[in-house]
Amino acid sequence: MKTTKFIAVFMLFASISIINSFGQEPNTNKKSKTETKISYVCSMHPDIKGKNGDKCSKCGMALSEKKKQIYTCTMHPDVMSNKLGKCSKCGMDLIEKKTKM
């Protein structure tokens, strides 16, 4: 008897939640991954950040898209990082990897 009541209550809640989900519109406020990863900075003042179309509060220049920097060791080019630091193999300072154009 208790099992029958439990199953009936469970089915009722499941039916209500399924019916309610059909009437809702999809959430369109979510940003795509590409939109959230792009950041804009001032080329003269990298500490000033903003969104596309903003201007630097110090010099008034338009903010440009921040390029992703990769740092590597001169002795061990296989060691790479996205921030400055030391090589994990020899302890030398990492330098910015030059990209070919």
Instruction: Tell me the per-residue pLDDT of 9-67, one tens digit each, with 9 for 90 and over.
Output: 878 777 777 776 666 555 555 554 444 567 888 888 888 889 888 999 999 999 988 77
Q: Is the distance from CB of 69 to CB of 96 less than 8 angstroms? A: yes
pTM of the full predicted structure? 0.39
In terms of DSSP bridges, do strands 80-81 and 95-96 run parallel, antiparallel, or are they unpaired?
A: unpaired
Instruction: Tell me the per-residue pLDDT of 57-90, one tens digit each, with 9 for 90 and over.
Output: 999 999 988 777 888 999 999 999 988 899 999 9
